[in-house]
Structure 1
Amino acid sequence: MAGNFWKSSHNKDWILDRQAIILRRYEAHQIFEPALEAQHQKLLIFLCELTQSIGIQMKSKQQIISTATIYMKRFYMRNSFKAVEPMLLSATAIYLASKVDQFENMPLGVLVNACCVVQDRYKYALQKHFPYRGLDILSCEFYLAESLDFSLIVYHPYRPLVTYLNYLPDDYDDGFRTRLLTSAWTVLNDSLRTDVCFLFPPHQIAVASLIVAAVAQGRNDLQTWFMEMEGIDLMNVSEICAYINDYYDFIKTYNQEEEIPDLISQMPKPVLSPPK
């Protein structure tokens, strides 16, 4: 994405320190105890997956899916889970992200049909049918954008990831570079399930994803190479790597199909006006 990240609203309004995140979540969700924080994390991971599933069903670009995921996380950073039912918010986030990234309206009828398919896929946690219409998504769209202060431009780590990959040392052959790109891209997508998008600039997340992916493939020398580059804060990069590795450890500790239904049951149920 063109433009200057450092002068953007993304950097000025949505790159926070850890204490600010804790305070905002406490104000929105009254989270303080570690057990509640773990539940909050599990629910957010599920909602990220839900948003991604709708985007994939719509055959959206990864950038649109990532933008929508960040919209959803930003919304629940400021608002209680009781503010908007999750399927409606995820669908609206995909719709709004498509407008912002492609500058065109996504067909609402197609989006509603995609949500019906996804709703059925997660029927162990969600009600049986997607109950919303296009007008509900349009109404929620303004509510979502207003809650984000209409700060809708999101900078992602995908472009710097490809840039750094092109400058890797010569001993990384083309086959390894291809595997590394695929693996690091997946790590970037997984990083959306963590708080790193609120804590660090995109280029540092890209570096961390390359390092995590390289280590997973048996190459432990990439961090040393990045140490020689200017403008790379390796302390931050190491912290991002820790967040991502902690996420991979965390998702091994619970059964989504057993735990998520109870958490979802505490969220609001749709109250719809009769069709006109």
Structure 2
Amino acid sequence: MAANFWDSTHCKAWILDRAKIECANQKDKQYITLVELRRMRIHYCKLIQLLGSSLKIRQRAIATAIVFFKRFYLKNSFVDCEPRLIATTCLYLSSKVEESITQAKKCAMKMKEIDTTFNFTMNDILECEFYVLEELSFELIIFHPYKSLPTYLQNCGLDCLDTVWGIVNDSYKTDVSLLYPPYIIALGCIYLVAFIKKKDLKQWFSELSIDMKEIWDVVKELLNYYEFDRAPITPAESPEAIYAKLPIKNSNGAPPPIMASAGGR
């Protein structure tokens, strides 16, 4: 395990440029629009959050699961790998990585309560876990913005940890965890809260050795997400309707195609 972010695989292998993210989900784009794809990605981030909260898993582990899910689908598409199974497996895996352990059986049962059409079992999750690990290149250590928040807030004199924490949670529904180091995300969330609360932190930010353009980019990503997510949608634009457009062959409970093909690797 890397002692710090700069020596980690997170820093060296998983801080990506936007072009690589935009190239993901190529097969899905044959069936749904970019707007629909974005709505689906947000939906599964929320689903992981809901499942993790229902299982009383720590927020750090939930955030790690979302990052695992995002990394997995940089290489794969929803039509090939059933997203509800991958989401559940990512949460089960992250619960072990972040020492907030739950059981695969509980994950399957709770997911079935949330979505009655979810027909995967504990064994499916355990089998799928290996393929998720492989697609993640067994690089499982994730650095998050949460740890630095109390220190930053104390230094800048902004007394609103809960508000900033909530915005950090929301940041995982965007792609900033794939684009920027965690300290930049933390500072971006603080900048946004300071702006909302009309707290002038320009002097404090000017004293930090950071690229302010990255901070503003994080803020723009967050504002864009809030605008997108709060816009009213029709039933035809719902995640369920979009999901129905995808020819996911294994939604009846069969193992995902990645399992069938991985044996030949």
Give the C-alpha shift of residue 3 in structure 1: 1.8
SS in 2 for 1:251: helix
Opposite residue 216 of structure 2, the aligned amino acid is S
Q: Which runs of 5+ in 1 are unaligned?
A: 120-127
Q: How many residues align?
A: 251
Q: Which runs of 5+ in 2 are unaligned?
A: 256-265
| Matched residue, 1:18 | 18
- Give me the CA root mean square deviation: 2.2
Percent of aligned pairs with the same amino acid: 34
| Matched residue, 1:87 | 84
**Residue 265, structure 1, aligned to residue 261, structure 2:** no
> Could you list the per-position Cα deviations for residues 31-84 of structure 1 after superposition, in whole angstroms to 9, with x for gaps in the alignment?
7xxx82211111100010011111001000000000001111111111011122
- Checking the alignment, whether the CA contact within 8 Å between 2:25 and 2:75 is kept in structure 1 is no
Give the C-alpha shift of residue 201 in structure 1: 0.4
Counterpart Cα distance in 1 of 2:170 and 2:182: 14
| Matched residue, 2:109 | 113
Give the C-alpha shift of residue 29 in structure 1: 4.1
Counterpart Cα distance in 2 of 1:38 and 1:224: 38
TM-score of the aligned structures, taking structure 1 as reference length: 0.84
SS in 1 for 2:143: coil
Counterpart Cα distance in 2 of 1:225 and 1:113: 48
> Could you list the per-position Cα deviations for residues 182-239 of structure 1 after superposition, in whole angstroms to 9, with x for gaps in the alignment?
11111111111111111110001000101112222232x124321112x222111011
| Matched residue, 1:68 | 65
- Checking the alignment, whether the CA contact within 8 Å between 1:112 and 1:132 is kept in structure 2 is yes
| Matched residue, 1:41 | 38
Return closer, same or farther for 1:234/1:253 CA change in 2, 3 Å cut-off.
same
- Checking the alignment, whether the CA contact within 8 Å between 2:164 and 2:193 is kept in structure 1 is yes
SS in 2 for 1:16: coil
**Residue 239, structure 1, aligned to residue 208, structure 2:** no
TM-score of the aligned structures, taking structure 2 as reference length: 0.87
Give the C-alpha shift of residue 117 in structure 1: 2.1
Counterpart Cα distance in 1 of 2:222 and 2:6: 24
Give the C-alpha shift of residue 131 in structure 1: 1.0
Of 85, 93, 98, 1:96 maps to 93
Counterpart Cα distance in 2 of 1:14 and 1:115: 28
Counterpart Cα distance in 2 of 1:224 and 1:27: 44
Of 170, 173, 195, 1:190 maps to 170
| Matched residue, 1:123 | none
SS in 2 for 1:83: coil
